[in-house]
């Protein structure tokens, strides 16, 4: 029997994903077709409403791609999960109380998630109440984004939160929060290493954004197992830039051969 994405994440398989910012199902379908493990649909920083989210998660399902959703706040968790998300990332989890709020919004047992099984997550009523509750609490991931300097003083409490599956280290916001010039600044590198060490100690998987295989290799040695590279718009832009550059360097045909 194939493992669920949640099982693969929790067992720290090496996983590859990207952010999706374009409100259409097609990018998710393409990413799944080429073999990516997951996509993070970005409702925090992209113009993605509920209807678009519904179509994007359908695209994920069509191509066998695990569709996670970066929601703007804990109040947006319910819609993402009912629509069929494989999990949620909640930004700016800076303390244990915030982590508990995130988990409560996502979990039925021991949480506060409002019940409905007449949606994609519940097979449109095809799963009974108890089966739906058990499946959702077992198969969806709840990830806290660690991206604030203040969170560094509360890592143990955040990571000890029952029902929290893992963390995503937000290096961009962490860099801004610490007033550093870039994510390569020593103060940021030290902070990321500290977060990774705390996650290892707590036994929590880590997802992190990287630029390439070399970056992923370095973070994997420190305990990270899920890697996010770029986003759908960035990947399209990179491909378009390469194409334009290639055509600009085409040799000019000899006179009279046109």
Q: Which sequence positions are flagged as catalytic?
A: 45
Exposure b/e, 177-212, CB count within 10 A at least 16 = b: bbebeebeeeebeebbeebbebbeebebbbbbbbee
> Residue 252 and residue 231: Cα distance in Å, rounded?
35
Q: Which residue has the tokens 């991931």?
A: 141
Task: Name residues whose C-beta falls within 8 Å of residue 233's C-beta, 6 or more positions apart in sequence.
Answer: 21, 22
Structural tokens at position 172: 């961009």
Q: Is 110 left (phi over 0), alpha (psi -120 to 50) or beta?
A: left
Count of CB atoms situated within 10 Å of the CB of 168:
25
**How far is CA 54 from its chain centroid?**
17
Total number of residues shown for the chain: 258
């Amino acid at each position: 029997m194939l493992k669920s994405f949640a099982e693969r994440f929790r067992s720290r398989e090496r996983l590859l994903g990207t952010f999706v910012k374009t409100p259409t199902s097609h990018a998710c379908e393409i990413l799944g077709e080429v073999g990516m493990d997951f996509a993070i649909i970005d409702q925090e920083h992209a113009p993605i409403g509920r209807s678009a989210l519904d179509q994007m998660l359908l695209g994920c399902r069509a191509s066998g791609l695990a569709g996670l959703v970066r929601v703007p706040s804990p109040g947006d968790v319910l819609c993402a999960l009912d629509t069929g998300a494989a999990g949620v990332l909640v930004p700016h989890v800076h303390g244990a109380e915030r982590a508990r709020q995130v988990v409560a919004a996502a979990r039925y047992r021991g949480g506060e998630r409002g019940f409905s099984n007449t949606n994609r997550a519940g097979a449109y009523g095809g799963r009974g109440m108890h089966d739906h509750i058990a499946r959702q609490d077992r198969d969806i991931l709840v990830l806290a984004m660690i991206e604030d300097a203040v969170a560094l003083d509360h890592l143990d409490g955040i990571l000890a939160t029952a029902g929290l599956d893992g963390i995503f280290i937000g290096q961009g916001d962490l860099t801004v929060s610490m007033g550093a010039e870039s994510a390569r600044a020593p103060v940021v590198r030290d902070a990321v290493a500290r977060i990774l060490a705390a996650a290892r100690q707590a036994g929590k998987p880590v997802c992190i954004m990287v630029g390439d295989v070399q970056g992923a290799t370095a973070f994997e040695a420190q305990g990270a197992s899920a890697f996010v590279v770029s986003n759908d718009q960035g990947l399209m832009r990179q491909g378009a830039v390469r194409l334009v550059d290639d055509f600009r360097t085409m040799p000019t045909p000899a006179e009279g051969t046109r």
